Chain A
Amino acid sequence: MPTKTYRGREFEVDAEGFFTVPSQWSEDIAAEIAREEGIGELTDRHWQVIKFMRHEYDEKGAGPTVRVLGKTSGVPIKELYQLFPRGPAKIAAKIAGIPKPRGCI
């Protein structure tokens, strides 16, 4: 199992860098993960989405899709893409320390 180090602590992640143990995550490492993903500074709007991802994961055991994020996070899809240009569902999940959202099949 690969690991990543943020702020001097080690975390279990999958091959793409998504957390496999979400309980290991804490808010103080989010900014460092975000920088790796090319996001300079986490604004309140970023945090709204990150906290929503955590909440959804706690409730449902999986991260939401972009479409569900757009309907329920309070941030419209166009803005989600401005905040997380390389894909809101994936990048926000990574920063929020939850597993990669599985596309339903």
Chain B
Amino acid sequence: MGRRVLVLGGGTGGTLVANRLHRSLPRDEAEITVVDADDRHLYQPGLLFVPFGLSRPSALVRSRRAQLHPGIDFRQSAVDRVDLEAEQVVLQDGTAHSYDVLVVATGARLVPEETEGLTGPGWGSSVHTFYSLPGAAALSAALPTFEGGRLVVNMVDMPVKCPVAPLEFCFLADWYFHERGIRDRVEISYVTSLDGAFTKATCNRELSGLLAEKGVEVVTEFNTGQVDGEAGKLISYDGRQVGFDLAVMVPLHGGAPYVSRSPGLGDELGFVPTDEATLQAKAAPNVFVIGDATDLRVSKAGSVAHFQGEVLVRNIRRFLAGDALDASFDGHTNCFIESGFGKALLIDYNDDVEPVPGHFPGRFGLPLLRESRLNHLGKLAFQSLYWHALLPGRDIPGLTSAMPLAGKRLDAATSA
């Protein structure tokens, strides 16, 4: 009889895991069901481009169901809770589903209401976010009417999805106001809770240099306690203030609400404690976690979910066969950083190796940690790769779970 694999979440991680599992397990061995509250799969990396009119919101959304291989069951309902003891998931449509293996792939959600005043006066007019589709669309309507003043981009606190996205927003804003001929009338500030623009030393140096070059002021260790939309200021817990005419917020993130309703599954923020090498949940041996839903200290990014997918699927097969798990996820992360004026940087790193200069994936590839036109084209090309290779769960040449070392200038990391 087939074993039941239940995948909660039909986003990047859930979709690619379901598809990979479906291909690697014989039909009669596993019955795979993917659950999601809606049938709208959003290409999240595209959100960054929407405010600047470089992407249309409708071009970023496709059916979740349509991304799943035939033979995978899709069930549209929100999750009420997971009962780890009974090995059962209760959905909000009232049905209960037992599982042999559960995959938690429900990502992270925005919790702007956790910051005092953020969703109060000014929300949607002078206070925005591009981290949701409606938010990005609202900002695309607001930016063209901005004629000058202080633009503040604020990352409230980690963890957030794609920690480089707020920096990319600053770079693109610099380009955008240049194009409109009003850059000299706009002040751009990046306000972050971190003690630098980015936490990885070599990368922080490169990005800080770029920010300075583009005239973006950086305010660090600013822990936003309150957003006062009427007065136009951010107020930190330690009493500092940053004034703004337009605020672009990256709100606090949390896990999916059902995680906190499921005894023993999540931590205080609703993320799921996960073994960093096997991707097994700490709560139960037959629960696995992928992507933004984990509590891991790796970036919440699609590339990470892709790299995790390979290890996760191998481990689910091993678990079902009663074999020892493969502890090989190395924290591999890869991201393009759009830097404006048709250029981008590329970084590729893992738990042990910092982002370093060189080339990717080998000696003759895309330049690492350096602005180039080629990387910008790579970033644009990635959207098609996402729908046609990454989600279907294909192995992508050069983009494997184990981080490549060829082409990397490792000496640059030690001098950081």
Contacts and interface: CB of A to CB of B under 8 A. Distances in A.
Contact of B163 (A65, A86, A105): A105
Contacts of A72: 268
B252 interface: yes
Q: How large is the interface on A (under 10, 10 to 19, 20 to 34, 35 or more residues)?
A: 10 to 19
Nearest to B221: A87
Interface in B151-169: 157-159, 163
Contacts of B198: 105
A67 B225 contact: no
A72 B270 CA distance: 13
B283 to A, nearest CB: 14
A78 B269 contact: no
A66 interface: yes
Interface string A86-105: 11000000000000001111
B80 to A, nearest CB: 23
28 contacts: A65-B157, A66-B157, A66-B237, A67-B252, A67-B269, A68-B268, A68-B269, A71-B269, A77-B225, A77-B237, A78-B237, A80-B237, A81-B237, A81-B238, A85-B238, A87-B238, A102-B199, A102-B297, A103-B158, A103-B194, A103-B195, A104-B158, A105-B158, A105-B163, A105-B198, A105-B199, A105-B200, A105-B298
A87 B240 CA distance: 12
Contacts of A103: 158, 193-195, 199
Interface of A: 65-68, 71-72, 77-78, 80-81, 85-87, 102-105
Sorted from nearest, which 10 A-B pairs have the closest CB atoms? A104-B297, A81-B237, A105-B199, A104-B159, A104-B158, A71-B268, A103-B199, A72-B268, A103-B194, A103-B158
Nearest to A70: B237
A67 B157 contact: yes
B182 to A, nearest CB: 34
A87 B200 CA distance: 21
Q: How large is the interface on B (under 10, 10 to 19, 20 to 34, 35 or more residues)?
A: 20 to 34
A105 B269 contact: no
B375 interface: no
Contacts of A87: 221, 223, 238
B308 interface: no
Contact of B223 (A66, A68, A104, A105): A66
B299 interface: yes
Interface string B192-236: 011100111000000000000000000001010100000000000
B317 to A, nearest CB: 29
Given A66-B157, A87-B221, 16 more contacts: A65-B157, A65-B158, A67-B269, A71-B269, A77-B225, A78-B237, A85-B238, A86-B238, A87-B223, A102-B199, A103-B193, A104-B158, A104-B159, A104-B297, A105-B199, A105-B200
Nearest to B196: A103
